[in-house]
């Protein structure tokens, strides 16, 4: 069957309708719909998105039959309008506009007043009895055609126009005389010829064909491509092209053009919102050269038009059941609608409008829940920059943690803490962060790194803290020695102010005022509705009572990941942690040395030589010292950890709390600076050279695959036993206060059933010993993180000893892909741009690969233990499409950073509704 490329609309009837957005684009489908609703729309026709796709597939040539369909529909338009394209006595003018299936405002191209040439200008003058209007329309057409079709820069035309206004001592275009506009047109034609090396086309059919091609080509202009990347718009055929009879808002003060919304798109308030300009065309409103008037003032200027516009906006909102963004033109006090579409809105407005429309009985609860984009809730939960503020963006990075922050630049954690102690706002700038920086990160308003991805240390920790972070800003050249960074020729020194937009990944020079979030009643209502429909529980990743409290206020139903290592970096305990680490290996080594020496001495007949006895005493002394230092460090850390857990249990009040035992490689806790190493050596009575040797010995070629996670518990069991003791004692203490406690002890990085069996046995033994001693009972669970591919493949064996699984998808992704999550910034952008990967797998769960490992782990785990509790605690636990995957695979919960809890609640509800459909 022959493909239809062109659809007509006009005279109260259209070939298309609103359901045909994929084919006609959003603009074309809605023009057809408004025509069928008897709303005044200038007639015209739409060239389909399929035509655009076939144009590219046909080596950038019109597909067979397209030109004849254009000619036939143009003839129909000419008959309907009683005018003809190119007729010098009665010229028809048209607009040529783009319109993809997904709204992409301002990203593609438009040409107005097409059909003019010197002869048609004269015909337009006679037809409208206005010289000025005709020459004004012509100069607009020449500049638009030059810019859009021929790729000329705007400034070539703007400079000419500005020079005429300067000479005439006028501010606005409307103040130029007819003769001046004539001269401007001539100058525009001349600069067009000079820049394009061609003569401006006078044949309107040639103008139209070239303009249609220009709109097709605009589908792949850099800004359109970037927009689709930013908003993850995929799978579209191309743009449609809408050719419409021109209506003119620049025919005098009885004419106007404007943009309006059925409600306020910023606040969501149910008040007519918009602005317009008298005696203007559409680009004048957007360009901002003249200050538009509020839509309300149109009521006094043109009361009949205003009443008609209000009626239309009410009808359109009821028809589409959503906020409408409309464009209109008034020609000689006659209203025409040029566009309607579902309006872009802030998250605040989206929530309010969705809830209000339920109350107004326009939509139901399910529609309201699905109307709000989960990720956009971030705007409500973090500070944002004042949209009215001027800003100088000097660099872009990854939007690693949303929010807005302004502060003084520092280049190390110590300075960050010093500035913060003086109540000075600070931005911590690092090449990359490490756990050592946690203190400085905690007090910083924002974090900026030149390396790292969306799940790098900086990103993960910042999101957990709710701190604004821009990561992987590769154009930053950071010099720690000079305490400055250079980007794009600009130097920013320590103490200079910068601002970070963590939602957009922008680095901004100087101070930028922020607006603090306020959660409305509408937000709480929407969240309550979402909770009615979702099946997944939503927990949080929280390491401090403050994080836990914040997460609970956002609706968290427990803690899915409490990282104990972050607690170790507090100033009051880091020295004891380092002491524990530095002597841990010595305890076993020295014990072995003493045992070996004793065995050797036992073999000696008769009296043991004094020298050997002295050697034994010295060895025993060294062993006892190391053992004392080790046990003393653990003894000091025990009450600190116990206090940490007790505070968190108290905040969570009977909700489950999953505590992960120590996970990172031990060397991450040790300093590199000589002065700090010297201080440690003095404190624990070991020589500096010995300390340096121990630090060096703890370094690993690939620490992420080295001595970390459960391997620490196997090699240094006393560390895990101390943590378990702290957990159980804290739970009992909290229980005494009348607060229910549900502790879940999580063993990280398990890859074999043997590891799980040994370590669970240790946990249970310590817990039961304490419970027996206290004469008390306590229900607790022991489980593991599934973050090694082998663990997923052998989950049936591991489940014999694990009472719950928590999928650590950050490490699982890293190990299954063979990617270092801190280094992917150097190649992942190319992978996604070239279609090798659809998304960064550290941001969006790779369902076809990593997802299979998760599915295998769930299936095998439940084969062995049908009631095993299963969740996810990687960064994917707060990402909507990954949450949908978790729902489909019947997990019990997702866990995410506190500020993503509402996002997860909403996404979980949407996933449940999608399944019902």
Residues annotated as catalytic are 457, 873
On whether the CB atoms of residues 30 and 18 are closer than 8 A, the answer is yes
Whether the CB-CB separation of 12 and 33 falls below 8 Å is answered with no
| CB of 864 closer than 8 Å to CB of 799 | yes
Sheet holding 6-10: strands in order across?
13-14, 6-10, 44-47, 240-245, 94-99, 110-114
Q: Is 435 exposed, middle or buried (0-12, 13-18, 19+ CB in 10 A)?
A: middle
Closest CA to 299 of 314, 285, 310: 310
Q: Is the dihedral of CA 633, 636, 640, 643 positive or negative?
A: positive
| C-alpha dihedral, 686 to 692 to 698 to 701, nearest 10° | 180
CA distances from 78 to 86, 87, 94, 847 (A): 11, 10, 10, 54
CA–CA dist 358, 361 (Å, integer): 5
The CA–CA distances, whole Å, from 688 to 195, 574, 626, 683, 692 equal 72, 18, 16, 11, 6
DSSP 111-164: EEEET--HHHHHHHHHHHT-HHHHHHHHHHHHHHIIIIIT---HHHHHHHHHHH
- Shortest CA distance to 350 belongs to which of 378, 371, 379? 371
What's the CA gap between 784 and 557, in Å, rounded? Answer: 20
Strand partners, 260: 274, 326
Bridge partner list, 537: 893
| CA 270 – CA 273 distance, rounded (Å) | 9
- Round to whole Å and give the CA distance between 54 and 5: 10
The DSSP line for 504-523 is TTEEEES---EE-----HHH
Q: What DSSP string runs through 294-348? A: EGGGHHHH-HHHHHHHHHHHHHHHHHHTS-EEEEEEEETTEEEEEEEEEPP--HH
Cα 401 to chain centroid, rounded: 8
- For 65, counting Cβ atoms within 10 Å of its Cβ (0-12 exposed, 13-18 middle, 19+ buried), the class is middle
Question: Rounded distance, CA 87 to CA 93, Å?
Answer: 10
First to last CA, the chain: 33
CA angle 215/217/220 to nearest 5° reads 115
Which two structure tokens, joined as six digits, stand for 383? 């500070």
Task: Give the gyration radius of the chain's Cα atoms.
Answer: 34
58, two tokens = 């046909």
Report the distance separating Cα 429 and Cα 411, nearest Å.
5
The residue with tokens 């390396």 is 451
The candidate with the shortest Cα–Cα distance to 808, out of 727, 877, 908, is 877
Neighbours of 914 (CB within 10 A): 12
Strands (E), 763-834: 781-786, 804-807
**CA 638, CA 727: separation in Å to the nearest integer?**
9
């Amino acid at each position: 069957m022959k493909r239809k490329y062109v659809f007509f609309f006009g005279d109260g009837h259209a070939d298309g309708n609103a359901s045909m957005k994929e084919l006609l684009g959003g603009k074309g489908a809605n023009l057809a719909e408004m025509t069928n609703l008897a709303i005044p729309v200038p007639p015209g026709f739409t060239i389909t998105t399929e035509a655009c796709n076939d144009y590219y597939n046909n080596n950038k040539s019109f597909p067979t039959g397209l030109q004849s369909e254009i000619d036939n529909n143009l003839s129909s338009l000419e008959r309907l309008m009683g005018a003809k394209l190119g007729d010098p006595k009665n010229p028809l003018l048209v607009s040529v506009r783009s319109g993809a299936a997904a709204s992409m405002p301002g990203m593609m191209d438009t040409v107005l007043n097409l059909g003019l040439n010197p002869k048609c200008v004269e015909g337009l003058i006679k037809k409208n009895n206005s010289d000025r209007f005709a020459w004004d329309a012509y100069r607009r057409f020449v500049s638009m055609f030059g810019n859009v079709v021929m790729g000329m820069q705007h400034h070539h035309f703007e400079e000419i126009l500005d020079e005429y206004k300067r000479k005439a001592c006028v501010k606005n275009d409307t103040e130029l005389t007819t003769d001046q506009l004539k001269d401007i047109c001539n100058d525009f034609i001349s600069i067009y010829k000079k820049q394009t090396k061609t003569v401006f086309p006078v044949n309107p059919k040639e103008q139209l064909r070239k303009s249609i091609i220009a709109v097709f080509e605009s589908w792949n202009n850099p800004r359109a491509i970037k927009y689709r990347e930013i908003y993850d718009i995929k799978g579209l055929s191309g743009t449609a092209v809408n050719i419409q009879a021109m209506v003119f808002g620049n025919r005098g003060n009885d004419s106007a053009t404007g943009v309006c919304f059925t409600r306020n798109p910023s606040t969501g308030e149910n008040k007519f919102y918009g602005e317009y300009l008298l005696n203007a065309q559409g680009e004048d409103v957007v360009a901002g050269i003249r200050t538009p008037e509020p839509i309300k003032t149109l009521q006094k200027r043109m009361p009949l038009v205003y009443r008609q516009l209000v009626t239309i906006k009410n009808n359109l909102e009821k028809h589409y059941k959503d906020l409408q963004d409309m464009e209109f033109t008034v020609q000689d006090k006659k209203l025409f609608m040029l566009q309607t579409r579902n309006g872009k809105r802030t998250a605040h407005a989206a929530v309010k409008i969705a809830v209000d429309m339920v109350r107004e009985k326009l939509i139901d609860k399910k529609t309201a829940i699905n109307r709000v984009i989960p990720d956009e809730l971030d705007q409500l939960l973090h500070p944002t920059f004042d949209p009215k503020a001027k800003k100088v963006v000097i660099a872009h990075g990854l939007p690693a943690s949303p929010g807005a922050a302004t502060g003084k630049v520092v280049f190390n954690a110590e300075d960050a803490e010093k500035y913060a102690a003086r109540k000075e706002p600070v931005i911590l700038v690092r090449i990359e962060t490490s756990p050592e920086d946690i203190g400085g990160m905690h007090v910083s308003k924002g974090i900026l790194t030149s390396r790292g991805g969306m799940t790098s240390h900086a990103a993960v920790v910042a999101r957990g803290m709710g701190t604004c972070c821009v990561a992987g800003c590769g154009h930053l050249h950071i010099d720690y020695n000079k305490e400055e960074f250079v980007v794009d020729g600009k130097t920013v020194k320590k103490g200079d102010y910068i601002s970070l937009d963590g939602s957009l990944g922008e680095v901004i020079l100087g101070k930028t005022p922020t607006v603090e979030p306020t959660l409305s009643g509408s937000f709480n209502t929407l969240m309550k509705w979402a909770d009615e429909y979702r099946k997944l529980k939503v927990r949080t990743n929280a390491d401090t009572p403050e994080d836990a409290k914040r997460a609970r206020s956002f609706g968290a139903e427990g803690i899915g990941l409490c990282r104990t290592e972050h607690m170790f970096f507090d100033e009051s305990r880091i020295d004891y942690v380092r002491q524990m680490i530095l002597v841990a290996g010595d305890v076993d080594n020295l014990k072995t040395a003493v045992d070996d020496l004793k065995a050797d001495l036992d073999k000696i007949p008769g009296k043991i030589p004094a020298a050997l006895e002295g050697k034994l005493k010295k060895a025993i002394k060294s062993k006892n010292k190391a053992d004392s230092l080790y046990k003393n460090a653990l003894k000091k850390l025990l009450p600190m950890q116990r206090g940490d857990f007790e505070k968190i249990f108290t905040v969570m009040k009977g909700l489950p709390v999953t505590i992960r035992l120590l996970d990172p490689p031990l060397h991450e806790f040790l300093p590199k600076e000589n002065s700090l190493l010297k201080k440690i050596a003095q404190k624990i009575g070991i020589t500096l050279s010995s300390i340096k040797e121990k630090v060096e010995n703890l370094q690993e070629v690939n620490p992420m695959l080295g001595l970390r996670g459960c391997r620490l518990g196997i090699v240094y069991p006393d560390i895990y036993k101390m943590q378990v003791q702290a957990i159980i004692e804290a739970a009992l203490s909290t229980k005494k206060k009348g607060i229910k406690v549900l502790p879940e002890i999580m063993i990280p990085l398990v890859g074999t059933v043997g590891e799980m069996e040994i370590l669970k046995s240790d946990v249970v033994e310590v817990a039961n010993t304490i419970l027996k001693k206290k004469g008390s009972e306590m229900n607790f669970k022991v489980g593991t993180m599934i973050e090694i591919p082998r663990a997923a493949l052998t989950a049936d064996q591991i489940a014999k000893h694990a009472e719950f699984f928590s999928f650590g998808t950050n490490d699982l992704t890293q190990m299954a892909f063979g990617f270092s999550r801190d280094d992917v910034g150097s190649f992942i952008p190319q992978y996604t741009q070239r279609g090798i990967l659809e998304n960064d797998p550290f941001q969006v769960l790779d369902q076809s690969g990593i997802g299979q490992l998760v599915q295998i782990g769930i299936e095998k785990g439940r084969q062995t233990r049908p009631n095993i509790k299963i969740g996810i605690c990687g960064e994917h636990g707060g990402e909507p499409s990954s949450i949908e995957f978790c729902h489909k695979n019947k997990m019990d919960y997702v866990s995410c950073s506190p500020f993503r809890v509402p996002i997860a609640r909403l996404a979980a509800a949407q996933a449940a509704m999608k399944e019902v459909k």
